[in-house]
Structure 1
Amino acid sequence: MGEIRVGTCSWTDKALVASGWYPAGSRDAEGRLRHYATRFPVVEVDSTYYGLPSIRNSLLWADRTPDGFRFDVKAFSLLTGHPTRPHALPADLRPAFVRDPGRNGVDPGLLDEVWQRYSAALEPLRAAGRLGTLLFQFPARLVPGRPAEEFVRRCRERAAGWPVAVEFRHPGWWRGEQADATAALLTDVDAAAVAVDMVRTLPASVPPVVRVTRPGLAVVRLHGRNSAWGTGTKEERFRHTYTTDELREWVPRVHEMAERADEVHVLFNNCCGDAAVRAAESMRCLLGSHRVAPCD
């Protein structure tokens, strides 16, 4: 059975820092990461969705975590087709972004340059053995069909040689017969499918389909089950306290994934106060997964 690693989708979230979860003396940037890494063996980097990472941060993250720790790093928004503010780009690239009249305001040459800078900044993290995967989270407007599949393939080609996981936000990718085609696409491009837990009663709800499409890694992201998904503030969308029964639903699914993948990452994104770290601690105990801190 593959190794199961449980963690959260951020260690720097303002609500988490304000919750008091970090002990006194561990509340600066270095102390937070070092403390987090004593509690969990994996974390997601969210900041790289909003702006390009830096070599300096990659070196610091590697230095402040133990051997074997994993960072799953979100792809920059421009690379996944999300709306991106020009000021999120380095200053020298902004004119090309603003001037280009093409679809989404992006030309392939600009995307190639953005990818080169993004990947170069993460190379120290990969060289240190800390990189788990790059997470390509595609927007809900990416609807299943040939143009979308071609876009996914272009993204994967750009990231050739790097581990990639894919989360689709449009529910059609994992509904009915399309689920088999989606799994086949991700298998063909050597990308890990991300299984999703979220509220299940909305038209935009992604079903909790589990597929292992890359033998090296499988990923689960648990967003909480708040019916305000897609509306309101971040706190309103992600405010949810997982019950033990809700977590238990995922235990057989995660074990099934671990039977087919070398490593499974289970990441909580219900980032409101300390809800994510508490849910991760509970899930870690239910799964009997690899841990540093003991179960309560």
Structure 2
Amino acid sequence: MAQDLIHIGCAGWSLPHALQSRFSAEGSHLERYASRLHACEINSSFYRPHGVDTYRRWADSVPEGFRFSVKLPEAITHERRLAGCEAALDEFLGQAAGLGDKLSCLLVQLPPSLALDARAAADFLTALRERWAKGIAVEPRHASWFTQAGDALLKRHRVARVLADPVRHTGGAMPGGTPQLAYLRLHGSPRTYYSAYAPELIAALARRIEHARQCGTEVWCIFDNTASGAAADNALALQQAIQQDPS
């Protein structure tokens, strides 16, 4: 199985006490997390900058095949609302470059109030693409993005539209944008950030991911139901389900 196309992990690398015995007993929290899971979404970059040395230390803490996605700062997405962000993008990408080849994808989470402005979005994505050639996933939260026009714009820039659960808008139950990348953010349902996903849903998710892999699609599946500690358990279960797939 082409594992390099599938990245399963959590938002952050905290490990609930009940699961700690399933991870290495040695090392930092990140080193222990990386003993079992092979991908992670860095969310803290949304709230505050990290120096290049911090990113480099994180990269040095994980195995060679480990991959990170990193969330863009709120100064870009929520304060500037994608406008006039070139200098801020340069600063952020210069810091995140400390991850080296282990940085695989950028996550752009938009505020719920940010409607699709095709020109502004195209200008932003053009500027981002000029600086970053790998994966980009946008998580819009305004209904105007879940349209043919929104999908077409994202496809032109080779950008994925995140499938986020709980689904808030018609059309959001499937990934959108480029067919080359699918990015799933599972926040927990019905109680956001808390609810664990049932084994039946994990099994169905494994089948969907395997189908995407067979189509040559790179898949990120990030569990963000971290408040109750369910994320790591769900990620381990999904990873096991995929490894057991006979294909």
TM-score (norm: length of structure 2) = 0.84
Provide the secondary structure at the position in 2 that maps to 1:250.
helix
CA distance in 1 between counterparts of 2:215 and 2:44 reads: 30
Note the aligned Cα RMSD (angstroms).
Answer: 2.9
Partner of 1:121: 95
Find the partner of 1:142 among 104, 114, 122.
114
Provide closer, same or farther for how the CA distance between residues 56 and 213 of structure 1 changes in structure 2, counting only shifts above 3 A.
Answer: same
Map 1:26-37 → 2, pairs under 5 A: 31-37=28-34
Provide the secondary structure at the position in 1 that maps to 2:176.
coil
Q: CA shift at 1:213, angstroms?
A: 0.5
Q: CA shift at 1:212, angstroms?
A: 6.0
Partner of 1:54: 51
Larger radius of gyration: 1
Residues 1:186 and 2:150 are matched in the alignment: no
Partner of 1:173: 145
Provide the secondary structure at the position in 2 that maps to 1:38.
coil
Provide the secondary structure at the position in 1 that maps to 2:190.
coil
CA distance in 1 between counterparts of 2:143 and 2:183 reads: 17
CA distance in 1 between counterparts of 2:175 and 2:244 reads: 18
Gaps of 5+ in 2: none
Residues 1:209 and 2:204 are matched in the alignment: no
Partner of 1:44: 41
Residues 1:220 and 2:220 are matched in the alignment: no
Residues 1:153 and 2:122 are matched in the alignment: yes
Q: After superposition, what is the alpha-carbon deviation per residue over 1:153-176, rounded to whole angstroms, capped at 9, x for unaligned?
A: 2222222241321111224433xx
Provide the secondary structure at the position in 2 that maps to 1:43.
strand
Q: After superposition, what is the alpha-carbon deviation per residue over 1:231-280, rounded to whole angstroms, capped at 9, x for unaligned?
A: xxxxxx31101101222332333233223345311110111232000011
Count of residue correspondences: 240
AA paired with 1:158?
A: A
CA contact (8 A) 2:68 2:103 kept: yes
Provide the secondary structure at the position in 1 that maps to 2:239.
helix
Provide the secondary structure at the position in 1 that maps to 2:184.
strand
CA contact (8 A) 1:22 1:32 kept: no
- Provide runs of 4+ in structure 1 moved above 4 Å: 25-28, 203-206
Residues 1:77 and 2:74 are matched in the alignment: yes
CA contact (8 A) 1:26 1:32 kept: no
AA paired with 2:52?
A: I
Partner of 1:100: none
Partner of 1:252: 207
Map 1:276-295 → 2, pairs under 5 A: 276-288=231-243
Q: CA shift at 1:11, angstroms?
A: 0.7
Partner of 2:163: 195
Q: CA shift at 1:220, angstroms?
A: 1.1
Provide closer, same or farther for how the CA distance between residues 61 and 112 of structure 1 changes in structure 2, counting only shifts above 3 A.
Answer: same
AA paired with 1:60?
A: R
